[in-house]
């Protein structure tokens, strides 16, 4: 009698409170149309009363537990005709094999379910994990969450399953919640509802049964229902207005399933029964008052929140009596069926009521097409799951979640890299992190790590170096795969964080944002980014955000003590530097691109056209391929990596003096109509002084291609002339060629003299020549009154963050990072490794505009992207747009000269085979090649950038296989083929 009055009271209150909100009856779930279908009718006729009860029972299954577990599952299926399996840990291939076998053993097709709130990666190895719901709660664009739902549905179906126990619709308003927390969309009931609906609709549109959980709301608990029964003491009004809100909205939006939690909620049922066993909550509230007609599933019936004080079998019967359709993870199937049969016999529940629930389950099975069941194929399973669009979606979701909480002085994105001396500290790890590796892509950064249990001595060692840097980037990492609201750092580590020099510190927080409140002073940092979790994508993209490769629009889904409130977050504009991403993000097809490039590179390596190589491809400012191939040299095991540095040979021409000339042209200090003599008096009135720089840079001035300067150092017997080269350095011989070759200090004058006196060709027509580029460093020094190397470093390389783009790399980098070139047995008589391959540049002390620059693909690409951007990069303008357009256009087409000013251009009449570019390269494109096996090319029409680095001259320059295979141009064509 007492309970009846309570239920009546609940009904009256709820009706009053919900009249305005529920003017219309909620739409029934779509699957209910099959409740009395021909297939459902036929199945019902074939089932005994006991077998019908079996359909209500779903048990746990694993794909990593071996043959004994498999046999137990098969026995349960065959003996009890259970309705479904709930899969947990394992791998996708075994999962599909087992599900095929289990389905073939079942009298009625099994509903396959999984608890995959953030995708298959929550349960299965070698699958994709999407961001946790708290991170999704930060996303402003809910269409991304819808797309995630649709993708999750496709992946779950691909492994033979049909139902996902998601979304979590709990409003997490208790920061210390031990079981929901990061699994919730946040503390704002409206946003939780909106995002839950987006996720649900995506999954259901993808053909999946979904269940909102954990009804009637598990967000404000401090007890984990896996271990005990949580109690929620809120009033009925509070529950109706807050906890129940997302569930009501989901019902109105047409969700097809609901999972009931194990909770003690006196305001809804004063008996103390877990909500899973409460008729007042399930039948009176969920079914009658809220009008939910879909599939009602219990939370796991093995959890202590429901088993404590309840016997196996009896607890399952009580769950059925309360109104549940599905008993999830029943402990003892036989006891459950026995007790439910007893309840029918006693008239506690009718067979008709059982049959109604079975029909609902069968209707859901027909909706997911189990009436047309066929074994799933195993072929291409992993490829189907890890398809590029799914991988890109995971990155897009992570990117959209990043939340900037502090940005004093607009420190994010970083600007003026030439003024910054940066160190990074990754806290909670003892190895270099993905975060730090991505930081390296943008600028020179000194890295440190601080393990979770670091000692005071380790902490003090890092603190001692703080004064040497003016920017400290800190990554606070998690020691758990799931972001718990805990701090496990040692006392010295916590003290280290709380005593950081915040006035020059930028913090990236890869832990649960709630835990920021447990570390003092974090909010005082110049920059603070909430990244929500410690995934590789979160680390990678946070580093990109710091340097402006991407922007940020995330908003905090929960409050953090008194430091930050829900909804906080600053918008950051990105796109000022490279974004490192997947081909599909730039409108390119991964399969075409990767397979095409890989096969051509492997062909070249197998043909010994080059020992290895390094490639970078960017489109629309997005790096879509950045990869190393092969070895640094033949007969070795040292593989090339993307950090290795190559000799750029003639690509130096467009990468050193040329940007300097363009800048000086902008400043009115360099005139293309002038000649060499206008800047170098020594050349005044020489035969070279009649040619303009426009003619010379376009290789139209009639200059000879090259002079073999090194031959002038030799006597007839092959030994060096005493006035040119000595074995030891001295004041008279200070220019290092090798450790045993030192050039006379005035030999550069002989080089200039040789250039000055060299004859001209009979006609001014196109003839490639490098003579001017030997002079340009000196010309630029004359114009600027600055050291040439200092000038290009200061005005270009340092600002670009291109630390490996340098002359004489052996002075800055470990020789192991520098890829060797030719075995020079003509001039230097040793293998060339670390110094410039070109003999003329070597005799200029390693600094020339003809050759001498070294770089990895990534740093060189920054300069090239600046060209592609028509003079700007990193939020700074380097060269005027009109100037770049002038230098990159064909200058003398009437003479069949395809060249720009310094830049190579496509041949005027044909492309493709035997051409210098791919057939699809536009006429606007430009670039250059290098003798050591280099090619760079830029196509403004497609916003496409291509860097190919190799050392094809190892061991000898006579190896021209790379040219014969046309590898560089063939790869370039693949890029166009991959554009969708």
Count of CB atoms situated within 10 Å of the CB of 723: 13
- Rounded CA-CA distance 115/129 in Å is 13
Q: Dig out the tokens for 218 from the structure.
A: 């598990």
Count of CB atoms situated within 10 Å of the CB of 855: 28
DSSP 128: P
DSSP 759: P
- Rounded CA-CA distance 62/323 in Å is 28
Are the C-beta atoms of 788 and 852 separated by less than 8 Å? no
User: What would you report as the CA-atom Rg of the chain, rounded to the nearest whole angstrom?
Assistant: 35
Q: Which residues pair with 736 in a beta bridge?
A: 742
In order, the DSSP letters of 232-299 are ----HHHIIIIITHHHHHHHHTT--EEEE---B-TTT-TT---GGG-HIIIIIIIIIIT---SEEEES
Residue 667, helix vs strand vs coil: coil
In order, the DSSP letters of 851-895 are S-EEE-HHHHHHHHHHHHTTSEETTEE-S-HHHHHHHTS-S-GGG
Sheet arrangement for strand 735-738: 725-726, 741-743, 735-738
Q: Dig out the tokens for 471 from the structure.
A: 């920017």
Sheet arrangement for strand 853-855: 646-647, 853-855, 806-807
Q: Dig out the tokens for 782 from the structure.
A: 């004359």
* Dihedral (CA of 293, 295, 301, 304) sign: negative
Q: Dig out the tokens for 407 from the structure.
A: 């940005």
Q: What is the 3-state secondary structure (H, E, C) of 485-516?
A: CCCCCCHHHHHHHHCCCHHHEEEEECCCHHHH
Residue carrying the six token digits 């060096």 = 720
In order, the DSSP letters of 321-374 are HHT-SBEES-S-HHHHHHHHHHHHHTTSS-HHHHHHHHHHHHHHHHHTTGGG--
Distance of CA 258 to the CA centre of its chain: 34
299 is annotated as an active-site residue:
yes
Are the C-beta atoms of 592 and 625 separated by less than 8 Å? no
- Rounded CA-CA distance 235/224 in Å is 21
Residue 470, helix vs strand vs coil: coil
Are the C-beta atoms of 951 and 854 separated by less than 8 Å? no
Residue 724 — left, alpha, or beta (φ > 0 → left; ψ -120 to 50 → alpha)?
A: alpha
Q: Which residues pair with 369 in a beta bridge?
A: none
- How many residues are listed for the chain in this entry? 980
Distance of CA 433 to the CA centre of its chain: 14
Closest CA to 32 of 501, 357, 306, 264: 357
Are the C-beta atoms of 483 and 477 separated by less than 8 Å? no
DSSP 789: H
- Rounded CA-CA distance 548/579 in Å is 8
226 is annotated as an active-site residue:
yes
Q: Please pick, among 69, 125, 224, 226, the residue that the annotation labels catalytic.
A: 226
Q: Please pick, among 220, 299, 478, 585, the residue that the annotation labels catalytic.
A: 299
Which helix or strand (DSSP H or E) is residue 457 part of? helix 456-463
Residue 318, helix vs strand vs coil: helix
Q: Which residues pair with 938 in a beta bridge?
A: 926, 945
Which helix or strand (DSSP H or E) is residue 18 part of? helix 2-18
- Nearest 5 degrees, angle CA 599-CA 604-CA 607? 120
* Dihedral (CA of 228, 234, 240, 241) sign: negative
Give the residue numbers annotated as catalytic, written as ranges: 226, 299
């Amino acid at each position: 009698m007492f309970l009846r009055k309570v239920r009546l009271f609940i009904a009256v209150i709820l009706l009053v409170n919900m009249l305005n909100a529920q003017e219309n009856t909620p739409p029934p779930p779509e699957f209910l149309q099959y409740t009395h279908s021909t297939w459902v009718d036929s199945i019902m006729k074939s089932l005994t009363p006991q077998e019908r009860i079996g359909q209500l029972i779903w048990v746990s299954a694993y794909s990593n537990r071996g043959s004994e577990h498999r046999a137990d599952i098969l026995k349960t299926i065959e003996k009890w005709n259970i309705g479904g399996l709930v899969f947990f840990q394992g791998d996708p291939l075994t999962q599909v094999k087992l599900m095929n076998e289990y389905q073939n053993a079942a009298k009625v097709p099994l509903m396959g379910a999984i608890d995959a709130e953030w995708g298959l990666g929550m349960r299965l190895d070698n699958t994709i994990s999407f961001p946790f719901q708290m991170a999704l709660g930060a996303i402003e664009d809910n269409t991304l969450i819808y797309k995630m739902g649709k993708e999750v549905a496709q992946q779950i179906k691909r492994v033979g399953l049909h139902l996902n126990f998601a979304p979590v619709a709990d409003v997490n308003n208790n920061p210390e919640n031990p079981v929901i927390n990061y699994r919730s969309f946040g503390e704002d009931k409206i946003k939780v509802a909106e995002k839950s609906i987006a996720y649900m609709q995506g999954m259901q549109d993808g053909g999946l049964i979904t269940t909102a959980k954990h009804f009637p709301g598990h967000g404000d608990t401090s007890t984990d229902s896996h271990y005990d029964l949580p109690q929620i003491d809120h009033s009925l009004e509070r529950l109706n207005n807050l906890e129940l809100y997302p569930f009501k909205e989901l019902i109105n939006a047409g969700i097809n399933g609901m999972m009931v939690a194990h909770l003690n909620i006196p305001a809804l049922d004063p008996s103390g029964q877990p909500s899973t066993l409460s008729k007042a909550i399930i039948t009176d509230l969920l079914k009658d008052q809220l009008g939910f007609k879909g599939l009602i599933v219990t939370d796991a019936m093995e959890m202590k929140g429901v088993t404590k004080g309840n016997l196996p079998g009896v607890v399952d019967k009580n769950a059925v009596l309360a109104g549940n359709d599905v008993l999830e993870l029943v402990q003892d199937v036989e006891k459950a069926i026995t007790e439910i049969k007893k309840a029918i016999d006693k008239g506690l529940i009718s067979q008709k009521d059982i049959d109604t629930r079975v029909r609902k389950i069968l209707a859901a099975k027909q909706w997911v097409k189990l009436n047309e069941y066929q074994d799933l194929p195993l072929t291409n399973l992993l490829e189907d799951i890890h398809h590029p669009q799914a991988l890109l979606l995971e990155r897009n979701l992570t990117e959209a979640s990043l939340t900037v909480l502090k940005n004093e002085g607009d420190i994010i994105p970083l600007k003026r890299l030439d003024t910054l001396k940066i160190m990074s500290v990754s806290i909670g790890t003892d190895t270099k992190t993905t975060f730090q590796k991505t930081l390296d892509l943008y600028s020179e950064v000194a890295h440190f790590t601080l393990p979770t249990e670091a000692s005071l001595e380790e902490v003090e060692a890092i603190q001692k170096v703080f004064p040497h840097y003016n920017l400290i980037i800190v990554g606070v990492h998690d020691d758990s795969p799931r972001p718990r609201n805990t701090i496990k750092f040692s006392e010295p580590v916590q003290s280290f964080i709380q005593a950081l020099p915040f006035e020059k510190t930028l913090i990236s927080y890869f832990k649960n944002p709630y835990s920021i409140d447990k570390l003092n002073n974090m909010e005082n940092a110049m920059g603070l980014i909430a990244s929500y979790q410690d995934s590789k994508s979160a680390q990678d993209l946070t580093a990109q955000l710091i340097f402006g490769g991407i922007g940020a629009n995330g908003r905090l889904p929960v409050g953090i003590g008194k430091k930050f409130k829900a909804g906080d977050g600053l918008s950051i504009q990105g796109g000022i530097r490279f974004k490192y991403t997947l081909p599909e993000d730039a409108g390119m097809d991964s399969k075409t691109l990767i397979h095409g490039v890989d096969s051509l590179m492997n062909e070249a390596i197998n043909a010994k056209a080059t020992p290895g190589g390094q490639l970078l491809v960017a489109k629309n400012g997005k790096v879509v391929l950045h990869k190393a191939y092969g070895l640094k040299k033949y007969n070795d095991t040292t593989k090339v990596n993307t950090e290795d540095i190559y000799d750029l040979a003639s690509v130096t021409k467009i990468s050193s003096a040329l940007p300097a000339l363009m800048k000086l042209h902008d400043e009115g200090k360099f005139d293309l109509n002038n000649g060499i003599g206008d800047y170098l008096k020594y050349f005044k009135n020489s035969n070279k002084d009649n040619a303009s720089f426009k003619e010379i840079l376009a290789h139209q001035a009639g200059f000879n291609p090259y002079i073999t300067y090194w031959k002038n150092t030799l006597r007839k017997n092959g030994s060096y002339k005493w006035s040119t080269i000595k074995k030891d350095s001295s004041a008279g011989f200070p220019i290092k060629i090798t450790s045993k070759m030192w050039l006379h200090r005035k030999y550069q004058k002989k080089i200039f003299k040789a250039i000055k006196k060299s004859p001209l060709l009979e006609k001014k027509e196109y003839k490639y020549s490098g003579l001017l580029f030997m002079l340009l460093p000196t010309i630029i020094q004359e114009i600027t009154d600055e050291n040439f190397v200092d000038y290009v470093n200061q005005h270009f390389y340092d600002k670009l963050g291109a630390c490996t783009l340098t002359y004489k790399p052996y002075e800055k980098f470990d020789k192991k990072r520098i890829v060797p070139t030719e075995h020079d047995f003509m001039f230097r008589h040793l293998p060339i490794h670390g110094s410039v391959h070109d003999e003329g540049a070597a005799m200029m002390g390693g600094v020339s505009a003809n050759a001498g620059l070294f770089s990895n693909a990534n740093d060189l690409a920054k300069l090239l992207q600046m060209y592609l951007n028509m003079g700007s990069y990193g939020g700074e303008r380097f060269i005027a747009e009109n100037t770049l357009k002038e230098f990159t256009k064909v200058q003398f087409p009437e003479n069949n000269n395809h060249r720009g000013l310094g830049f190579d251009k496509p041949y005027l009449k044909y492309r493709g085979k035997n051409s210098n570019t791919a057939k699809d390269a536009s006429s606007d494109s430009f670039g250059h090649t290098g003798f050591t096996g280099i090619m760079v090319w830029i196509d403004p029409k497609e916003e496409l950038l291509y860097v190919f680095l190799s050392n094809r001259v190892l061991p000898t320059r006579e190896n021209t296989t790379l040219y014969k295979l046309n590898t560089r141009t063939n790869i370039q064509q693949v890029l166009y083929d991959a554009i969708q």
